Homo-oligomer: A and B are copies of this chain.
Amino acid sequence: MQSIKVKSPATLSNICCGFDILGMALKEPFDIIELIQKEEPGIIIKHIDSFELPVDPEKNIAGVALQSMMHSLDNKQGFEIIIEKKIKPGSGIGSSAASAAGIVVAANELLGKPFNKKELLSFAMEGEVLASGSRHADNLAPCIYGGLVLIRDTPSLDIIPLNVPPLFITIIHPQIEIKTSYAREILPKEITLKNAVTQWANVAGLVSGFLKNDYQLIKRSLHDVVAEPVRSKLIPGFDEIKSKSMNAGALGGGISGSGPSLFMLSETESIAHSIEKTMKSVYDPIGIEYKTYVTTVQNKGVEIFN
Q: Which residues of A contact B (CB under 8 A)?
A: 17-22, 150-153, 158, 160, 162, 187-193, 196-197, 199-205, 207-208, 211-212, 217, 220-221, 226
Query: Contact between B150 and A204 (Cβ–Cβ < 8 Å)?
Result: yes
A226-B187 CB under 8 A given contacts A204-B207, A205-B158, A208-B160? no
A226-B189 CB under 8 A given contacts A205-B150, A207-B208? no
Complex: A184 Cα to B20 Cα, angstroms: 28
Query: Contact between A220 and B158 (Cβ–Cβ < 8 Å)?
Result: yes
Query: Contact between B193 and A21 (Cβ–Cβ < 8 Å)?
Result: no
What 4 A-B pairs are tightest by C-beta distance, nearest first?
Answer: A200-B200, A152-B205, A196-B196, A190-B190
Query: Contact between A193 and B188 (Cβ–Cβ < 8 Å)?
Result: yes
- B17, B193, B211, B217: the one within 8 Å of A226 (CB): B193
Query: Contact between A20 and B220 (Cβ–Cβ < 8 Å)?
Result: no
- B22, B152, B190, B191: the one within 8 Å of A220 (CB): B152
Complex: A168 Cα to B22 Cα, angstroms: 30
This chain: how many copies in the complex? 2
Query: Contact between A191 and B201 (Cβ–Cβ < 8 Å)?
Result: no
Query: Contact between A160 and B205 (Cβ–Cβ < 8 Å)?
Result: yes
Q: Knowing that A160-B217, A204-B204 touch, tell me 6 more A-B residue pairs with CB under 8 angstroms.
A: A19-B197, A151-B201, A152-B217, A160-B205, A207-B208, A211-B211
Task: Provide a sorted-by-A list of 17 A–B residue pairs whose CB atoms are within 8 angstroms.
Answer: A18-B200, A150-B205, A152-B204, A152-B205, A152-B221, A187-B193, A189-B192, A190-B190, A190-B191, A190-B193, A191-B196, A193-B226, A203-B203, A203-B204, A207-B207, A208-B211, A211-B212
Q: Smallest distance from the beta carbon of A219 to chain B beta carbons, Å?
A: 11
Most buried by B among A150, A152, A162, A200: A200
Query: Contact between B21 and A197 (Cβ–Cβ < 8 Å)?
Result: yes
Q: Smallest distance from the beta carbon of A138 to chain B beta carbons, Å?
A: 10
Q: Smallest distance from the beta carbon of A278 to chain B beta carbons, Å?
A: 27
Complex: A150 Cα to B192 Cα, angstroms: 21
Most buried by B among A22, A197, A204, A212: A204
Residue of B at shortest CB range from A22? B204
Complex: A204 Cα to B21 Cα, angstroms: 9
Q: Smallest distance from the beta carbon of A250 to chain B beta carbons, Å?
A: 19
Q: Smallest distance from the beta carbon of A161 to chain B beta carbons, Å?
A: 10
Query: Contact between A208 and B150 (Cβ–Cβ < 8 Å)?
Result: yes
Query: Contact between B192 and A190 (Cβ–Cβ < 8 Å)?
Result: yes
Complex: A221 Cα to B197 Cα, angstroms: 17
Instruction: Chain B residues near A212: list those with CB within 8 A.
Output: 211
Q: Smallest distance from the beta carbon of A189 to chain B beta carbons, Å?
A: 6
Complex: A217 Cα to B158 Cα, angstroms: 9
